[in-house]
Structure 1
Amino acid sequence: MGTNNCRLMVAVRSGDGFRVVDSFNRTVRLGEGLQSAGVLSDDAMARTMSALHVCAARLRQWPVRAICCVATEACRRAANGRAFLQRVRAETGLDIAIISPREEAELAMDSCGALLHANNHRRERGILFDIGGGSTEIAWLRLDRARRAQTLTGTTSIPWGVITMAERFAAPAADASDEEHAAYYEAMVRHVMTELDGFEAVHHIRREIGRSNVGMLGTSGTVTTLAGIALNLPRYNRHAIDGIVLTDAAALGAIDTLRAFRADGLATHPCVGSERNHYVLPGCAIFEAIHRLWPVEAVTVADRGLRDGLLFRMAREMETIGHVRSPSNVARRTPPSSKHGVYGANSAIWGA
């Protein structure tokens, strides 16, 4: 349960990995208005509760052995975040835990690490970033090429995601001048760069980039949208995007394409849509700030994130302890047939 989206993934063990058999994703904008009010609004909680009732109903259709539910920045920051989660548990049976920014980074690393190794054979360091609704997480990694493993050596979280940026910086009117639109965008980029300067001062990432020793990976709706624009896809296609490598020229060119649209044009774009049109440019500004500060020549795009990292973690735990006690709030039923993707514990690549 993020600041912008509520997501569910159900999987079964398959060989040394797992197979996804059901998934759900709904834009709920839980963090809408949080930047100014400091609390979750009634409308935002109602939208989110509706989505969570759907999740609970979907889970009752499966013979679930274990459930892990997490919440991120909106519930971390909101004064009524924990009270809302207590209400969620009472109404839906879902016991949702608030995770720390560092754990968010670790879960993203678990789900996306294999892609870093696949596309950065000669590099020993990596940057992983996740642009969320209420925050952006940055992970600085040490890559072990021989073992195809990675170690988290530093992480930071800034309280700026696509929703908080959109609320902090008012977009110009549709009929505003090009100069006004350019100033609005540049103000967002510089704001995020300032927020990240301290992390650079500690870890000297630019120095490693100068040695061509750093790979970069992004996981979020922003980077997958940029990939869809760069590929000129008629509609979003996860299988065409997950794992693709975008050059910096292609990524920045996609941003230029999106910036040429006004809000109405973005709402009708097949890779954006009306639910995300107000958040696309704030996300692009965060991406560009990261790129300006750390100008890596290409970025690997991952359409995977917290859910996938949680499933990898649960699969490892089940392998270690042999079994997991079933939660009492899930009904036992035979699962319907479904065909989704397959994750391998080693490759972490989707297959049809």
Structure 2
Amino acid sequence: MNNEIVSVDLGSNSFRVLKYDCLNHKIVLEYNEVVGMADGLVDTGIISKEAMLRVVSAIKHSSEVLNYKPENAVCVTTAAMRKAKNSKEVLEFFKNETGINFEIINGDEEARLTLLAVKYALKRENINSDNFILLDIGGGSTEIIVNTKDKYSAKSFDFGIVTMTQKFLKNHDLHKDLENRKIEIRDFLDSLHLDLKNYSFVATAGTPTTIAAIKLGQDFFSYDRNIVNGAIVNLEDLANSLDIFKNSSKEEIARLVGRGRVEFIEVGIFIYKAIFEVLNKKESIVLDDGLREGVAINYCLTKCKN
């Protein structure tokens, strides 16, 4: 039992827990819940009391389902908590209510840990992992990581599916905003002076995995990460998914993408499409592995060495 570690990733929209076997580098159990922590963050600058209570409820429920003690888990939180003016009070509230102890990590550390998970995942899926560009679309930030053999360059961009949706609902200029974001990303890539033709395009997080799942005939309730891992998604798949969402009711979309993601999925697809365009790529490899896996692997490599 002492070879097992529990990692927790509290994102802007999702709460994800992993029980991980350090000895065999295998996932034992997982738990995912939409908590909408960044709801209203763009307008108010704070995490709401309602969101805090949803997170506390998710922590308590996940600890029952996965049988772990929150105070013993390795826990990180990201963009929403980096942005929120009341983050210190929020984290104290979580600790007082559940015993859990979150560390707010910056965009660079988020990128490093996500990359670690993806490298392990690519090896597991027998996919060449030397040169690739990794996209991680989060709720409050988007990370782009360019991996060249044992070196990498990463940048965290200040937009995600939740914050961009909130701004879009207010200002109605999503595509103009995305064009500006594409320029930012292009500038970052140009600064690296690399030939991107020699790099595969890898994507992780909820939007890419949802598109891959829909392509494979899965919905939120039949989602199987083992089948999604290594799936190929192309621009046509994005267009097909947008068509499905345009012609479906909210209930049908919720069945496909999960409750709490309905209002964000289209913006997620537009962000995904924008990165395809910047990179001039026709397809991307999709992986379910991300930050929570990276947190667990990092802990195993640094703390569990005998």
TM-score scaled to structure 2, two decimals? 0.85
- How far does the alpha carbon of each residue in 1:250-272 deviate from its partner, in whole angstroms, 9 at most, with x for none? 4333344345335526535x321
2:53 to 32, 43, 46: 46
8 Å contact from structure 1 (residues 188, 286) kept in 2: no
Matched letter for residue 152 of structure 1: Y
1:137 and 1:156 in contact (8 A); partners too: yes
Question: Which of 86, 97, 104 is the matching residue for 2:103?
Answer: 97
The aligned counterpart of 1:333 is none
> C-alpha separation between the residues in 1 aligned to 2:263 and 2:252?
8
Distance in structure 2 (CA, Å) of the matches to 1:110 and 1:315? 12
Structure 1 vs Structure 2 CA RMSD:
2.8
Measured in 1, the distance between the counterparts of 2:260 and 2:144 equals 26
| Structure with greater helix share of residues | 2
When residues 206 and 200 of structure 1 are mapped into structure 2, their CA distance, relative to the original with a 3 A threshold, is farther
User: Where does residue 208 of structure 1 map in the other structure?
Assistant: 195
| Aligned mates of 2:132, 2:263 — CA distance in 1 | 30
1:308 deviates by: 0.6
Task: Tell me the distance in 2 between the aligned counterparts of 1:95 and 1:65.
Answer: 6
**Unpaired stretches in structure 1, ≥5 consecutive residues:** 145-149, 173-183, 323-352
Which residue is 2:183 aligned to?
197
Residue 22 in 1 paired to residue 29 in 2? yes
Query: Is the contact made by 1:127 and 1:217 (CA closer than 8 Å) also made in structure 2?
Result: yes
Does residue 242 (structure 1) correspond to residue 241 (structure 2)? The answer is no
Alpha carbons 2:185, 2:278 under 8 Å: kept: no
Q: Which amino acid aligns with 1:7?
A: R
Post-superposition offset of 1:65: 11
Larger Cα-atom Rg: 1
Distance across 2 between alignment mates of 1:315 and 1:65:
18
What is the distance in 2 between the residues matched to 1:296 and 1:254? 18
Q: Residue 78 of structure 2: which of 55, 72, 75 is its match?
A: 72
Inter-CA distance 159–201: structure 2 relative to 1 (3 Å threshold):
closer
Percent identity among equivalent residues?
26
- Distance in 1 (CA, whole Å) between partners of 2:32 and 2:178 is 28
Q: Give the equivalent residue in structure 1 for 2:290.
A: 305
Whether the aligned pair in 1 keeps the contact of 2:230 and 2:286 (CA below 8 Å) is yes
| CA apart distance, 1:276 | 1.5
Residue in 1 aligned with 2:160?
161
Structure 2 matches for 1:174-189, cutoff 5 A? Answer: 187-189=173-175
Q: Provide the C-alpha distance between the structure 1 equivalents of 2:208 and 2:161, rounded to a whole number of angstroms.
A: 12
Secondary structure of the structure 2 residue equivalent to 1:169? helix
Instruction: Give 1:126 shift.
Output: 2.0
Checking the alignment, whether the CA contact within 8 Å between 1:135 and 1:161 is kept in structure 2 is yes
Residue 42 of structure 2 aligns to a residue whose secondary structure is: helix
Distance 1:102 1:276, change over 3 A: same
Structure 2 residues without counterparts, runs of 5 or longer: 1-9
Q: Would you say the 8 A contact 1:71–1:99 is kept in 2?
A: yes
Q: 8 Å contact 1:108–1:309 — kept in the other structure? A: yes
Q: Give 1:303's aligned amino acid.
A: D
Superimposed CA distance per residue, residues 11-68 of structure 1 (whole angstroms, 9 cap, x where no aligned partner): 2333xx3333332211110100000100011111111121122344557x45999631
Cα 1:256–1:21 shift into 2, 3 Å: closer
Question: 1:211-253 CA deviation, whole Å, 9 max, x = no partner?
Answer: x21111111110011112222335422221011122x244333
Q: Which residue of 2 aligns with 1:36?
A: 43
Matches of 1:21 and 1:46 in 2, distance apart? Answer: 27
Which position in structure 2 is the counterpart of 1:286? 271
Counterparts of 2:204 and 2:282, CA distance in 1: 17
Matches of 1:226 and 1:202 in 2, distance apart? 26
Which region of structure 1 is more displaced relative to structure 2, 21-30 or 63-72?
63-72
